[in-house]
Amino acid sequence: MSLVLNSDLDLPFDLKPEQLHKFEKDGFIHLKSVLSPSVLAEYGREITSLTIALNTQTKPLQERTTYDRAFLQVMNLWEQSERVKAFVLGKTLGRIAAELMGVRGVRLYHDQSLYKEPGGGITPAHADQYYWPLSTDRTITAWIPLQNVPLEMGPLSFYAGSQHEAFGRDLGISDESEAAITAMMEARRFPLIQNPYELGDVSFHLGWTFHKAGSNVSTKPRSVMTIIYMDVDMVLQKPTNGIQEGDWVQWCPGARIGEIIQTPKNPIVYERATC
């Protein structure tokens, strides 16, 4: 089956100089009206249905760990569906990711759908790059809601400017990370920025930016697609924990330590044209 790309997934998005500056300062940015509601409806149905069908969680909410109460998750949906593949490899978001990071292009690290059920718990404070065996901080996640996300549904929130903070980088998502990172962020006076998302909004955050999300206290599920990009020239580093060992095997199999990650699972999403 050939990949059919909706041209709306490749439209340019005009980033302003002040937005680039804000991202560099804060380590995240919440952009308005990046994708059209019609595009998100077209692809969101498939993303959500696959997430529900492929997730392996069987326990009721009250019997799960804090991590498992946060959301149902399925990764690399782009390998399960040509329609999702078209969405994940769209150049609109890839170009924004590259421009925000100031790199010549980006590859896919992996995608991840996040389905926070009604009554789903908090997503504890953490930094994503704890999980990744990547040699630089040029990693970025696009957080793409597939419906409006008011505050009661638990939108993503960010500790502005925390991408340079060393404390907490050895903590995975857990009750411990929530308590320790939240306390440190408050002590260091990093402001927690939490805003609702309208359909079409997309946020981007660096791998070392600390973030969290509230519980979904509404009666509706919160369905979100995330795409993790890395610098097109990203080099695999020696893993520093067991989770990074697993990520190496799962998301970039065959890549070698000290060399650029360029496996079939890590296609180039966007690369700036050169003369």
List, as one string, the DSSP characters of 100-120.
HHT-SEEEEEEEEEEEE-TT-
pLDDT per position as a tens digit, 245-266: 999 999 999 999 999 999 999 9
User: Is residue 170 within 8 Å of 249, Cβ to Cβ?
Assistant: no
- Listed residue (263, 145, 134) closest to 208, CA to CA: 134
Structure confidence at residue 70 (pLDDT) = 86
For the chain, 275 residues long, the average pLDDT of each consecutive 10-residue run is: 64 96 98 96 95 92 88 96 96 98 98 96 96 98 98 98 96 95 97 98 98 97 98 98 96 98 98 80
| Residues in contact with 201: Cβ distance below 8 Å, sequence separation at least 6, in sequence order | 30, 31, 32, 33, 34, 145
* Distance, CA of 39 to CA of 7 (rounded, Å): 10
User: Which DSSP state fits 186?
Assistant: H
Give the predicted TM-score (pTM) of the model. Answer: 0.95
User: Distances in Å between the alpha carbon of 20 and those of 11, 67, 97, 152, 187?
Assistant: 19, 32, 11, 29, 27
Structure confidence at residue 67 (pLDDT) = 85
CATH of the domain spanning 30-269: 2.60.120.620
Residue ranges per structural domain of the chain = 30-269
